[in-house]
A and B are shown apart, each in its own frame.
Chain A
Amino acid sequence: MLIYDIWFLFIYMFFIGNLIFVSKNKHLLVVLLSLEFIVLSIFFFFLVLLMFIDYDMYMLMVFLVFSVCEGSLGLSILVSMIRSHGNDYFQSFSML
């Protein structure tokens, strides 16, 4: 059963990443970093999973490409926010 202890690591990493995502932060960048942390935990999970069943890693690369696209989209929205608001604090949300 020792071999299944590694699943707890992935669930723990995923859960912590989600926890930071939903926590009250001052900066938007922390939220984006937590998204990247969740992506990292999924990457690790996927890697170990594919290694255990002796598949090829191509799906992992496709996943990586899409996650990086999403991360860069988040950063571009951060840049757009800084250009209009001047900072990335959550306190400056007053419209909605």
Chain B
Amino acid sequence: MNNNSNKMFFLFILFFSTLISISSNSWFGCWIGLEINLLSFIPLISNSKNLLSVETSLKYFLTQSLASINFLFMILIKFSLLKNFDMNNIISIMMNSSLLMKMGSAPFHFWFPNIVEGLSWMNNFMLMTWQKISPMILLSYYFNKNFLIFMIIMNLIIGSLGGLNQTSLRKLLAFSSINNLGWMIFSIMISENLWLFYFLIYSMMIFMMISLFFLMNMYFMNQLFINNMNFFIKLNLLINFLSLGGLPPFMGFMPKWIIINFLLINKFYFLTFIFMMTSLIIIYYYIRIIYSSFMFNYFKMKWMNLLMKNNMSLINLSSFISISSMILSTFIFM
């Protein structure tokens, strides 16, 4: 059975559903886009016949359908209470909560590492990047600032502390994704342009990491140590991890820099502190994965050779982009 044409069909509908959702005139159109998103993503992830993928698609379906049904109910309540402005806070909190549940943000994040654990790398990439677009943009249409700032703080803390005890690479990236969701929600509260910038750079970084793990077929942390990796692959992994964490010369620092700039100018000092400290914890557990392979006495198994001679150009290109993006971006406006 050739799955490729099925996947292309559902992928097309997935892309289309996000466009429906973000470009609709009414909240009902947004709900329709979210429903079509769910309808087209489930066939993409429930393709194989093992127990894990069935359980994954079931959990995904249950959480997402509950969230979108709640969203519709809150839309109807908002519609029916047109003249009652006192209810605005409650309704915006409820609508934001259902959208946060769709995104996998804390405190509704418990399904997210489970499902990421059960999906393949390419499906994970779809889940972590594309599925976040439409709930985020819908969030920007009607948000409650105080509620969202509280959610951002929870996202940052849970994303950083949750990843400390993980050995599975997918769950690690899931918690890192929850942390980056905190940054993205704050950036969408500032301006949609800034969110787009952060989102594009984030998805590029995640794509580089996921494509590296996909090519090496790595799902767990011990697989990083057993393989006899080429020096450039190790370097690329280090650069990508540090870039994802937001260290300065790499690409991932730039969007965080702009957000911190905004935070400090507008005197959000406590929030800046939390952003910084949670980033520190995240960089700690990224570095912890890869640093021991760079010391003088690094672990090198002779009997597991990772032959990647044909794919080195992609890896070198991604390292180059990660290192030089910040400096090259200053040359754009020459």
**Chain A interface (Cβ within 8 Å of chain B)?**
7, 14, 18, 21, 28, 31, 35, 38-39, 41-42, 45-46, 49, 59, 62-63, 66, 69-70, 73-74, 77, 80-81, 83-85, 93, 95-96
Contacts and interface: CB of A to CB of B under 8 A. Distances in A.
Contact of A70 (B35, B46, B49, B52): B35
Q: Interface of chain A, helix or strand or loop or mixed? A: helix
Contact of A45 (B66, B76, B114, B117): B76
B59 interface: yes
Interface residues of B, number: 34
A39 B69 contact: yes
A35 B49 contact: no
A42 B73 contact: yes
Contacts of B73: 14, 38, 41-42, 45
A23 B25 CA distance: 36
Contacts of B54: 77, 80-81, 84-85
The SS class assigned to the B binding surface is: helix
Contacts of B51: 84-85, 95
A66 B62 contact: no
B35 A66 contact: yes
Contacts of A14: 73
Interface in B42-58: 42, 46, 49-52, 54-58
Q: In the complex, which of the residues B28, B76, B114, B117 has the most CB atoms of chain A within 10 Å of its own CB atom? A: B76
Contacts of A39: 69
Contact of A49 (B32, B50, B76, B114): B76
B44 to A, nearest CB: 13
Contacts of B108: none
B39 interface: yes
A46 B73 CA distance: 9
B26 to A, nearest CB: 9
A62 B28 CA distance: 10
A70 B76 contact: no
A77 B46 contact: yes
Given A31-B62, A66-B32, A73 B69 contact: no
Nearest to B70: A18
Contacts of B114: 96
Given A77-B54, A84-B49, A85-B54, A70 B38 contact: yes
Contacts of B115: 96
B61 interface: yes
A8 B204 CA distance: 48
